[in-house]
């Protein structure tokens, strides 16, 4: 009998990458990262901890969880940290999905979701977004059935950038049975400037089935160090901690995250740059008559359908890496220096080549 992996792993799509190009990348607009490196305070903390990198991080990561909890104004036992919020999503699903369960999620949303869901032995149930790129909350609620273990909401949504309001999420939670976990992925929350932003931590008081995921990868600029956290009721956190590795966050990431929390100006600078450049990018798209979804994230989604690859190619020729979902759209990260002029040239070449198509 040959060595055989679980058959459902054959159903997993490959994670998408930036388009390959012969032109060197000078504007990295494909991965929703922060524009510049570590703040001096974070760098100093990391370098200092490097001296004792032969030592394990703190068992269970309690100090980091306590620092995050203090920052958020929740109890320390309501927080667990991990090596990125994606890793925590895996553990949450592993903890709550019984074999044969299903997990409902919006689509298109973060492409890792179906992978995490299948990894947990569950079946992904994708519910198509509304034409404006936002979650179809009525459709998501209707897709919940007796076998549903969890629903994943992503706000702002990757890759469409649309955000849910507090009212929408509160109403949605009211419609989900208590036995179904609701995972609210807020990786891009810091960039959201909408009128009624989700106050997810308040919602935990009423909803024992809510898990909030956040990350240091985006607004804190620590993507390469890998730190994310979940906030939930203490019972849920305790459950997830049972299967988290004992050293879920490495020692350098641990001190970096604590130092980043104490350095709010750095985060504020990253957010301010994104919000300002996002408005400029959307104005540029308006000027070229190119459709986009209203973004509350550090990227903008252009639903160009069959012409998405063409614009991706134009960008690549000008040294801008982007993320193209062929036949659907193209996602362009904002906040990187040099994006505006290069994108302006790419859009001009694209617009000259034909009338933009929408999906």
Ligand X SMILES: Cc1ncc(COP(=O)(O)O)c(C=O)c1O
| DSSP H or E run through 239 | helix 234-243
Query: How many whole angstroms separate alpha carbon 338 and alpha carbon 259?
Result: 29
- CA 42 to chain CA centroid, Å, is 22
Q: Is there binding between residue 86 and ligand X (CB under 6 A)?
A: yes
Q: Which stretch binds ligand X (CB under 6 A): 58-66, 79-87, 133-141, 193-201?
A: 79-87
Q: Is there binding between residue 160 and ligand X (CB under 6 A)?
A: no
| DSSP H or E run through 252 | helix 251-261
- What residues from 195 to 224 belong to the interface with ligand X (CB under 6 A)? 215, 217, 223
Closest CA to 343 of 274, 282, 261, 294: 282
In the complex, the smallest distance separating the C-beta of residue 214 from ligand X, rounded to whole angstroms, is 8
In the complex, the smallest distance separating the C-beta of residue 35 from ligand X, rounded to whole angstroms, is 15
Q: Is there binding between residue 322 and ligand X (CB under 6 A)?
A: no
Q: 6 CB contacts (<8 Å, ≥6 apart)?
A: none
Name 181's bridge partners: 150
In the complex, the smallest distance separating the C-beta of residue 161 from ligand X, rounded to whole angstroms, is 11
Using CB atoms, what's the residue nearest to ligand X? 84
Q: Is there binding between residue 154 and ligand X (CB under 6 A)?
A: yes
Q: Is there binding between residue 34 and ligand X (CB under 6 A)?
A: no
Per-residue binding letters, 168-187, with ligand X (x by CB under 6 A): -----------------x-x
In the complex, the smallest distance separating the C-beta of residue 356 from ligand X, rounded to whole angstroms, is 26
Q: What are phi and psi of 138, to 5 degrees?
A: -65, -40
Size of the site for ligand X (CB under 6 A): 13
Contact criterion met (CB below 8 Å) for 179 and 147:
no
> Binder to ligand X among 78, 85, 160, 209 (CB under 6 A)?
85
Q: Which stretch binds ligand X (CB under 6 A): 11-19, 78-86, 115-123, 190-198?
A: 78-86
Question: Based on CB atoms, which residue is closest to ligand X, 83 or 310?
Answer: 83
Q: Using DSSP bridges, classify how beta strands 329-333 and 27-28 pair: parallel, antiparallel or unpaired.
A: unpaired
Query: How many whole angstroms separate alpha carbon 268 and alpha carbon 158?
Result: 21
Take residue 243 and report the two structure tokens written for it: 């299967």
Query: How many whole angstroms separate alpha carbon 265 and alpha carbon 39?
Result: 9
The position carrying tokens 């740059």 is 273
Q: Is there binding between residue 244 and ligand X (CB under 6 A)?
A: no
Question: Based on CB atoms, which residue is closest to ligand X, 149 or 230?
Answer: 230
Contact criterion met (CB below 8 Å) for 96 and 117:
no
First-to-last alpha carbon distance for the chain, in angstroms, is 47
In the complex, the smallest distance separating the C-beta of residue 54 from ligand X, rounded to whole angstroms, is 26
Name 301's bridge partners: 331
Q: Which stretch binds ligand X (CB under 6 A): 84-92, 160-168, 241-249, 251-259?
A: 84-92
Question: Based on CB atoms, which residue is closest to ligand X, 31 or 344?
Answer: 31
Q: Is there binding between residue 90 and ligand X (CB under 6 A)?
A: no
Residue 141 CB burial class (10 angstroms; 0-12, 13-18, ≥19):
middle
Q: Is there binding between residue 32 and ligand X (CB under 6 A)?
A: yes
Q: Is there binding between residue 329 and ligand X (CB under 6 A)?
A: no
In the complex, the smallest distance separating the C-beta of residue 219 from ligand X, rounded to whole angstroms, is 11
Per-residue binding letters, 222-241, with ligand X (x by CB under 6 A): -x----x-------------
If DSSP codes are grouped into helix, strand and coil, which group holds residue 232?
strand
Query: How many whole angstroms separate alpha carbon 50 and alpha carbon 114?
Result: 36
Q: Is there binding between residue 16 and ligand X (CB under 6 A)?
A: no
> Binder to ligand X among 110, 191, 292, 301 (CB under 6 A)?
110
Q: Is there binding between residue 129 and ligand X (CB under 6 A)?
A: no
Interface ranges with ligand X (CB under 6 A) = 32, 84-86, 110, 154, 158, 185, 187, 215, 217, 223, 228
């Amino acid at each position: 009998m040959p060595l055989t992996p679980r058959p459902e792993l054959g159903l997993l799509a490959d994670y998408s990458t930036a388009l390959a190009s012969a032109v060197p990348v000078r504007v990295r607009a494909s991965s929703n990262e922060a524009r510049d490196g570590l703040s001096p305070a974070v760098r100093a903390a990391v370098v200092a901890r490097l001296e004792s990198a032969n030592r394990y991080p703190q068992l269970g990561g309690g100090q980091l969880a306590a620092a995050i909890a203090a920052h958020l104004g929740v109890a320390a036992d309501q927080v667990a940290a991990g090596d990125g919020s994606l890793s925590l999503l895996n553990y949450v699903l592993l903890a709550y999905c019984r074999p044969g369960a299903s997990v409902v999620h919006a689509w298109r949303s973060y492409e890792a979701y179906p992978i995490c869901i299948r990894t947990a032995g569950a079946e992904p149930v994708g519910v198509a977004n509304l034409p404006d790129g936002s979650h179809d909350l009525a459709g998501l609620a209707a897709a919940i059935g007796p076998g549903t273990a969890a629903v994943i909401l992503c706000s702002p949504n990757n890759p469409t950038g649309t955000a849910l309001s507090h009212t929408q999420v509160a109403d949605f939670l009211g419609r989900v049975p208590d036995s179904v976990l609701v995972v609210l992925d807020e990786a891009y929350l810091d960039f959201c400037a909408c009128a009624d932003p989700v106050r997810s931590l308040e919602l935990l008081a009423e909803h024992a089935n809510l898990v909030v995921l956040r990350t240091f990868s985006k607004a804190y600029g620590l993507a390469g160090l890998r730190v994310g956290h979940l906030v939930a009721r203490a019972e849920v956190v305790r459950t997830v901690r049972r299967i988290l590795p004992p050293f879920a966050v490495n020692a350098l990431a641990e001190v970096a995250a604590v130092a980043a929390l104490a350095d709010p100006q750095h985060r504020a600078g990253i957010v301010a740059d994104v919000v300002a450049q996002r408005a400029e990018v959307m104005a540029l798209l308006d000027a070229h008559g190119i459709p986009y979804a209203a973004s509350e994230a550090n990227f903008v989604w252009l639903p160009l359908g069959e012409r998405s690859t063409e614009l991706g190619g134009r960008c690549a020729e000008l040294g801008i890496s982007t993320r193209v979902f062929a036949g659907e759209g193209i996602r362009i990260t904002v906040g990187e220096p040099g994006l505006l002029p290069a994108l302006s040239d790419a859009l001009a070449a694209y617009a000259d080549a034909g009338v933009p198509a929408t999906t």
